């Protein structure tokens, strides 16, 4: 299998539960996916679907009152496979992977940088930990990184504090920091949600370049189907802790086979389709995570609901890469093709 060599990280049947307020919330309830080198995997879903939890599980950045219940997270490093789920949360091994092998950027660039240190200092912090460069080399490398990220006058900007950077520049600085040790995998948790569209476009160009030039595997978490269409190579649609549909971007967007994916696509207005386009709202709202339906989590809002939906559907492989979790996927898929 040549395909396996491209896989940078694989997640199998991952379950992460939260135990706050003496309740158990099955935030991530059995998800599997691969992140491939030089490809972008988009995880798309609404708030509370578990997409961010999946990211923090991979980074082992979970809060105390939560736990990986089951499943495997395997990082395929150059020196063999590493089972991330078996590492100690803040152990030495995990810390050496974080930042240097797998890096993460966050949604809000305003709070993700420490306001009392210069940008250059914050970039060199992770260089200090993960590499053995000298003091002067840190600075040169930091300047280089900022230049790569498209920040003008990096020589003077490197000594600036975060408050003098604008939102877009801070997000670039964050990416510079994440890329400082040339990680194999970049996890981006809603990196442009807090930014304007014109700035978002700049960040997307940058991420595209990273993917093409460095072969970085990117896992992008978003709620915006538009972002998926623009950036993704592969998509995983999440709903209430499960991946309900996954495949290449063509498969999922052109031939959505899960009722949720279809409903989601039908509910967003598409730019350029004019004022008279039809949009169909999804009825109801996402269920209370402490009071979930027994079977398919989407059943209560689904137009295709049948009695069988009271049992959690199995994952069905309907193409080489396309898989879906729905009892009636054949009919849904046939409707989509019309």
Partner 1 sequence: MQQNKDVILKLRDLKAHFPVKAGVFKRTVGHVKAVDGVDLDIYRGEVLGVVGESGCGKTTLGKAILRLVESSEGQVIYCSGDEQTDLTTLDNEGLVPYRKKLQIVFQDPHSSLNPAFTIFGSLEDPLKKYGVKSRAERRKIIGDLLEAVNMRPEYMDRYPHEFSGGQRQRIGIARALSIGPELIVCDEAVSALDVSIQAQVLQLLMKLKQEKNLTYVFITHDLSVTEYICDRIAVMYLGRVVELCDSEELYAHTLHPYTKALLSAVPVADLDKQTDRIVLEGDVPSPVNPPSGCPFHPRCQSAIERCKTDVPKLKRYEVDGRDHFASCHLVDLPEAV
Partner 2 sequence: MSMTNTTGRKTSRLDRQFDLIRRREEAGQLTNPRGYRFARKFLSNRLAAIGLLIFTIIVLVSVLAPLLTPYDPRAIDLRNILKPPTWAHWFGTDKVGRDLLTRVLYGGQISILVGLGSALASAVVGVLIGCYTGYVGGWRDALAMRVSEIFMSFPQIILVLLLVAILGQSLSNLIIIFILTGWGGIYRLARARMLSLREEEYVQALRSFGLSTPIICYKHILPNALGPIMVNITLSTAAFILAEAGLSFLGLGVPLDIPTWGNILNVAQDLRILENNWWVWLPVGIVISLFVLSVNFIGDGLRDATDPTQQG
Q: Which of residues 151-210 bind partner 1 (CB under 8 A)?
A: 152, 166-169, 196-202, 204-205
The minimum distance between CB 198 and partner 2, in angstroms, equals: 27
Q: How far is the CB of 26 from partner 2 (least distance, A)?
A: 8
Task: Please choose, out of 18-26, 197-205, 269-277, 325-333, the segment that lies near partner 2 by the rule CB under 8 A.
Answer: 18-26
- What's the min distance (Å) between Cβ of 73 and partner 2? 10
Given partner 1, partner 2, none, residue 68, with its beta carbon under 5 to 8 Å by kind, binds: partner 2
Q: Which of 31, 84, 207, 225 binds partner 1 (CB under 8 A)?
A: 225
**Which residues in the 269-298 window bind partner 2 by CB under 8 A?**
290-291
Q: Which is nearer to partner 2, 24 or 311 (CB)?
A: 24
Helices assigned H by DSSP within the chain = 51-58, 92-97, 119-130, 135-148, 154-157, 167-179, 197-214, 225-231, 249-254, 259-267, 329-337
Q: For residue 223, state whether it binds partner 1 (rule: CB under 8 A).
A: yes
CA distance 99 to 179: 8
- Say which residues have a Cβ less than 8 Å from residue 152's Cβ, sequence separation at least 6: none
20 binds, among partner 2, partner 1, none (CB under 5 to 8 A by kind): partner 2
Q: Give the alpha-carbon dihedral of 227, 233, 239, 243, to 10 degrees.
A: -170
E-state strands within 241-325: 242-248, 316-317, 323-324
Q: In degrees rounded to 5, what are phi and psi of residue 100?
A: -90, -35
Contact between 17 and partner 2 per CB under 8 A:
yes
Instruction: Give the C-alpha separation, 298 to 240, whole Å.
Output: 8
CB atoms near residue 253 (< 10 Å)? 16
Residues that bind partner 1 (CB under 8 A): 46-47, 152, 166-169, 196-202, 204-205, 223-231, 249-250, 253-254, 263-265, 267-275, 277, 279-283, 285-286
């Amino acid at each position: 299998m040549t395909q396996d060599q491209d896989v940078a990280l694989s997640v199998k049947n991952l379950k992460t539960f939260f135990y706050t307020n003496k309740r158990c919330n099955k935030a991530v309830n059995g998800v599997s996916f691969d992140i491939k080198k030089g490809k972008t995997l988009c995880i798309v879903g609404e708030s509370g679907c578990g997409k961010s939890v999946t990211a923090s599980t991979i980074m082992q950045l979970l809060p105390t009152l939560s736990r990986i219940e089951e499943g495997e997270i395997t990082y395929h490093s150059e020196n063999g496979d590493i089972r991330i789920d078996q590492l100690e949360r803040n152990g030495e091994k995990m810390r050496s992977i974080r930042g240097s092998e797998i890096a993460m950027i966050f949604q809000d660039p305003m709070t993700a940088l420490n306001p009392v240190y210069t940008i250059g200092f914050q970039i060199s912090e992770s260089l200090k930990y993960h590499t053995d460069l000298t003091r002067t080399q840190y600075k040169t490398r930091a300047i280089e990184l900022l230049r790569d990220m498209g920040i003008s006058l990096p020589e003077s900007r490197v000594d600036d504090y975060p408050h003098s950077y604008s939102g877009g520049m801070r997000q670039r600085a964050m990416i510079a920091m994440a890329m400082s040790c040339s990680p194999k995998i970049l996890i981006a948790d809603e990196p442009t949600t807090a930014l304007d569209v014109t700035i978002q476009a700049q960040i997307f160009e940058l991420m595209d370049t990273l993917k093409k030039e460095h072969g970085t595997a990117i896992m992008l978490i978003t709620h915006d189907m538009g972002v998926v269409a623009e950036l993704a190579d592969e998509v995983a649609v999440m709903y209430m802790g499960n991946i309900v549909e996954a495949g290449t971007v063509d498969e999922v967007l052109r031939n959505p086979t899960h009722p949720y994916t279809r409903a989601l696509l039908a509910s967003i207005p598409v730019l350029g389709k004019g004022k008279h386009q039809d949009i169909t709202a999804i009825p109801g709202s996402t269920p209370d995570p402490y009071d979930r339906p027994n079977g398919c989590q989407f059943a209560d809002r689904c137009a295709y609901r049948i009695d069988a939906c009271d049992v959690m559907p199995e994952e069905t492989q309907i193409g080489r890469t396309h898989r879906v979790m729905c009892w009636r996927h054949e009919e849904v898929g046939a409707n989509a093709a019309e």
